[in-house]
Structure 1
């Protein structure tokens, strides 16, 4: 009898990036059916959360980030809005700052925008990004 390989949730990081003007960075992604998202991705074996976040943000946006702090942890199980509907992820989402609003997107993102908190909440955000933005709103009240 062939033994089935054990599968586990995949840990990922995401960054809610705040500019010097106090604006939030968002982009659209082919992975989320055109919703606005925060940049992020998988944690590679041997990486810390912070190393993974810095690498993913740099790869996807060209931005260098600082003042990193955990904002929330979310679990994604078999979501319909994601391009891989049979996925199970643990999202570790962080608040961070950038010294510039000048971005250079890689192939994962398109339609980059810097918006106010109010403007962000009026956009079509994928559900997990919306939770991060709403958590940030509660933090700054």
Structure 2
């Protein structure tokens, strides 16, 4: 089995986190924008492309905030793809937030969630939630380990 490397954007404005809204037949969940790295791309190039595809904006990529792994077998998903996510702080530099023309069949939109409300939402990775508090952001980068 191959391991997918992905870059994800942590974009915070006015105490809110930009997320993609995703849905299956049985669930709805939120993720930071981003996705899989293509051969020949740096993580920063991947991140700018994925953010443009998923939420329609341009970003400048800042520091690495966290590294998170997802092993699907540990979460009852034996057919899932193992993934290592690199989460970067990003700033919007242009464009309007809107669900763009991404090929992800689960993405149904994008929205802003209040950081104070993330623990009540189906937001992943869960390990990022407590770190998004202003006083915690300075302690990054953090290896979140294997989480959902």
TMscore range, shorter length: 0.7 to 0.9
Q: Which has the higher strand share?
A: 2
TM-score w.r.t. the length of structure 2 is 0.73
Q: Alpha carbons of 1:101 and 1:120: their partners in 2 closer, same or farther (altered >3 Å)?
A: farther
Q: Which runs of 5+ in 2 are unaligned?
A: 140-148
What is aligned with 1:132?
A: 128
Q: Alpha carbons of 1:61 and 1:135: their partners in 2 closer, same or farther (altered >3 Å)?
A: same
Matched, 1:90 2:88: no
Cα distance in 1, alignment partners of residues 131 and 37 from structure 2: 23
TM-score w.r.t. the length of structure 1 is 0.76
Matched, 1:40 2:34: yes
Q: Alpha carbons of 1:89 and 1:102: their partners in 2 closer, same or farther (altered >3 Å)?
A: same
| Deviating 4+ runs (over 6 angstroms) | none
Max radius of gyration: which structure?
A: 1
Aligned length: 131
Structure 1 residue 117 displacement after superposition: 1.5
C-alpha contact 1:71 1:132 (8 A) present in aligned 2: no
Report matched runs for 1:94-109 at 5 Å. 94-99=88-93, 102-105=96-99, 106-107=101-102, 108=104, 109=107
Matched, 1:63 2:62: no
C-alpha contact 1:16 1:132 (8 A) present in aligned 2: no
What is aligned with 2:17?
A: 24
Q: Which runs of 5+ in 1 are unaligned?
A: 1-6
C-alpha contact 2:64 2:89 (8 A) present in aligned 1: yes
Alignment RMSD, CA only?
Answer: 2.7
